[in-house]
Structure 1
Amino acid sequence: MNRRPGLSARLKLTLSYAGFLLLAGTLLLAVVWVFVLRWLPEVEPGRIQQRFGAVVITGPNRSDLLRGFAPAAAAALAFLLVFGLVGGWILAGRMLAPLTRIAEAARMAASGSLSHRIRLPGREDEFRELADVFDAMLNRLEAHIAEQERFAANASHELRTPLAISKTLLDAARSDPAREHGELVERLQTINTRAIDLTEALLLLSRAGRKSFTREAVDLSLIAEEAAETLLPHAEQRQITLDVTGEAAEVLGSAELLLRMVSNLVQNAIVHNLPAGGTVTVRTEARPDESVLRVENTGRPVPADLVATITEPFQRGTQRARTDEHAGVGLGLAIVDSVVRAHDGTLDLTPRPTGGLLATIRLPGGTRADHPVTGEASAERPAGGSRRP
């Protein structure tokens, strides 16, 4: 934005300090004149007066003092003006020094250098609070940009892989026209489906990150029941018990995104489980100011360092047990985390001591006054009950 040049902040503060000091001096001299000089007697110098039988010898009269007071007052005001300008310039420079460092860091950040930090020393004040907030913002920006660069590189790699495989299969079919194409078509369909799933997951991740969705009252218990009904065949195939219980828990959000969130969590719990005889427990809970969803599964022990990075895109948890046909595209928990943050909630992943993982999602509760429920509905009820193969 083009703006006309103006006075610097330091010069403005200097003029303000000098003007305030000059005004204070003028007021002080006015007080001296009003309350002292004005009440001096109007007599000749050295004249003797008799008051109440006492003899009082007066000094100089008011006219003499005013003639001497005016030059002295003008000199004092001139001194205050010069002193205010010089002192104000020095004080303004010291006060604005932290702001200069912050502006320099902002210019470096605008040029693309996010590694510089202000790290303003000294005790806490407004400038140091601003510097700390700016440093925290730079930390988040640098981490976000690094995450986006990794995400772009991983996404490019993931999208390039099925395309490269498809090209190889098509080249092989072209070099051998007499070959049976049934197997080729089936493999191409599988690869194409995977590419479509990956593209849809990327679009969903982007949509959740932008928070571009309409919020409405959603019952998490019904969402959990619907997700469990959809994924029940997968649980039956792996001989895993899927148990869904809890109470009505209303939140304000997108039913589509919340369903995808719960489905990803439940599918992740089914895939990363014991080879047979495992369990997946889904439980909802309503609290005064939040709604809680817990998804807990058995399985192999999960290292703590893996939990810290498992919500990053394309982190499939290679150290956890899974079947290759349901390995996914590596965005399941990343989408869960993005949907949770888009709904202003929190996601906690905790390894179970006996193996497996406990995922706890806390979302701000919906307005129950606008969506009343009966006493029976607010009590604990099974959301679909236990489902066993």
Structure 2
Amino acid sequence: MDRTGTRRRGLSVRLRFTLSYAGFLMLAGVVLLGIVWFMLRNPSGDSLVGHDIGPVPGRFLIARKYFPAAGALLLLLLVFGLAGGWLLSGRMLAPLARITGAARMAAAGSLSHRIALAGREDEFRECADAFDTMLARLEAHVAEQQRFAANASHELRTPLAITRTLLDVARNDPTRDGGELDDRLRAVNTRAIELTEALLLLSRADQRAFARTPVDLSLIAEEAAETLLPLAEKRGITMHTSGRITPALGSPALLLQLTTNLLHNAIVHNIPEHGTVHIHTTTGPQAVTLTVENTGDALTPDLLATLTEPFRRGTDRIHTDQAGVGLGLAIVKSIANAHDGSLTLTPRPEGGLRVTVRLPSAAAHPGPG
């Protein structure tokens, strides 16, 4: 690398392989010819041939006949080594060329290309498979981010458009009741604030910008259930909370948000009357578990796979009473991942959903001091 920070271009790997192969072949040829020359001499230094003309002339005649032939043989070995090394190195490095081509396509923005290297399992095959896996994850992540950006733009634009419409109506109709307009504007503004706060919370969880402290997950579940009890009673939902002390490790505020989102989702997406929600916490040697289970409609596997995507609301995206901003399970998944935990969604055979969150146990991961 020079003073400008530009890396100097060196010899290609294929050329270095070729020169190394040819050089090794030449070295082997020199050693072989030296052994042959040694075997043509007797222990006293005389030639094994030409005794009739004396030792010195015999060695001289052997040298005149031996060295030109040896030089021609070395030249032949050099040509053979260069040609063979070039062909063999090209064949050996062909998978690397495919990996490089795929990497350049990915750098140009194409993530749908796959190497799909055939053949037996070796270092190149492992590298190609790992690269294909990375491309698949990147493609899925980029697609998810694009959908998130599009949905976020739509969700943020909706309250602004409603506000502008209400203001236009008020301006064109001076006799309209100002109290009604004020109530509707406040409702729209509240929704915009909730959406913005949810987006900020999602970003905070993704960045893991929080401190981890021991927290009792069972107490958090009880606090969330008490907060959402009026909503559950309004909808005719019965909540059951169970579980002993559950020592988790994480952010109390984020874990409360996680639990609240799960309970809110379980209440809202339930049967109209006489529905139930069960909240249960358990502890294990390495992890603690929070399980939220509710009655409701039967869920298909295709729908289940999209529930943790941002701005998904059960079976539709329609704004209903207490429907939230569509980031509930997305925030839950992000918070669980930020705590090195996991989120599992399982449809209940009789209808409804079972959500299981596994988090590190404070007992298995004690804090400093």
Class of the TM-score when normalised by the shorter of the 2 chains: 0.7 to 0.9
Give the C-alpha shift of residue 356 in structure 1: 1.1
CA distance, structure 1, for counterparts of residue 359 and residue 79 of structure 2? 62
CA distance, structure 2, for counterparts of residue 272 and residue 44 of structure 1? 102
Q: In structure 2, what residue type is equivalent to 1:177? A: P
Q: Which residue of 2 aligns with 1:207?
A: 204
Equivalent residues in 2 for 1:130-141, closer than 5 Å: 130-141=127-138
Q: Which residue of 1 aligns with 2:29?
A: 25
CA distance, structure 1, for counterparts of residue 85 and residue 342 of structure 2? 50
Gaps of 5+ in 1: 49-59, 373-389
Give the C-alpha shift of residue 212 in structure 1: 2.9
Give the C-alpha shift of residue 67 in structure 1: 5.8
- Residue number among 277, 292, 295 corresponding to 1:295 in the alignment: 292
Question: Cα distance 1:235–1:17, how it changes in 2: closer, same or farther (>3 A)?
Answer: same
Q: Which residue of 1 aligns with 2:6?
A: 2
> Does the 8 Å contact 1:38/1:62 carry over to 2?
no
- Residue number among 214, 218, 228 corresponding to 1:217 in the alignment: 214
> Does the 8 Å contact 2:286/2:363 carry over to 1?
no
CA distance, structure 2, for counterparts of residue 255 and residue 207 of structure 1? 14
1:264 aligns with 2:261: yes
Q: Which residue of 2 aligns with 1:341?
A: 337
1:330 aligns with 2:336: no
Q: Secondary structure at the match of 1:326?
A: coil
Computed over aligned residues only, the root mean square deviation of the Cα atoms, in angstroms, reads 2.9
What is the TM-score of this pair, normalised by structure 2? 0.87
Equivalent residues in 2 for 1:1-389, closer than 5 Å: 2-32=6-36, 37=41, 39=43, 42=46, 68-318=65-315, 324-368=320-364, 370=366
Q: Which residue of 2 aligns with 1:375?
A: none
What do residues 213-259 of structure 1 show as CA deviations (whole Å, max 9, x unaligned)? 33333332232222222222222333322222223333433222222
Q: Which residue of 2 aligns with 1:57?
A: none
Identify the range of structure 1 (245-254 vs 130-139) with the bigger mean alpha-carbon deviation.
Answer: 245-254
CA distance, structure 2, for counterparts of residue 253 and residue 275 of structure 1? 35
Question: Cα distance 1:64–1:371, how it changes in 2: closer, same or farther (>3 A)?
Answer: same
> Does the 8 Å contact 1:40/1:61 carry over to 2?
no
Q: In structure 2, what residue type is equivalent to 1:118? A: I
What do residues 86-106 of structure 1 show as CA deviations (whole Å, max 9, x unaligned)? 111111111111111221222
Give the C-alpha shift of residue 184 in structure 1: 0.9
Identify the range of structure 1 (174-183 vs 211-220) with the bigger mean alpha-carbon deviation.
Answer: 211-220
CA distance, structure 2, for counterparts of residue 308 and residue 46 of structure 1? 91
Give the C-alpha shift of residue 280 in structure 1: 1.3
Q: Percent identity?
A: 62
Bigger relative contact order (CA 8 A; separation at least 6): 1
> Does the 8 Å contact 1:285/1:293 carry over to 2?
yes
> Does the 8 Å contact 1:242/1:280 carry over to 2?
yes
Q: In structure 2, what residue type is equivalent to 1:245? A: S
What is the TM-score of this pair, normalised by structure 1? 0.83
Give the C-alpha shift of residue 309 in structure 1: 1.0
CA distance, structure 2, for counterparts of residue 27 and residue 331 of structure 1? 74
> Does the 8 Å contact 2:286/2:364 carry over to 1?
no
Q: Secondary structure at the match of 1:329?
A: coil
Q: In structure 1, what residue type is equivalent to 2:353? A: L
Give the C-alpha shift of residue 40 in structure 1: 6.4
What do residues 163-214 of structure 1 show as CA deviations (whole Å, max 9, x unaligned)? 1111111111112223221111111111100011111111112222233333
Q: Secondary structure at the match of 1:285?
A: strand
What do residues 247-296 of structure 1 show as CA deviations (whole Å, max 9, x unaligned)? 33334332222221111011111111222322211112222232221111
CA distance, structure 1, for counterparts of residue 301 and residue 47 of structure 2? 97
Give the C-alpha shift of residue 66 in structure 1: 5.8
Q: Secondary structure at the match of 2:305?
A: helix
Q: Which residue of 2 aligns with 1:53?
A: none
Aligned pair count reads: 361
Q: In structure 2, what residue type is equivalent to 1:302? A: L
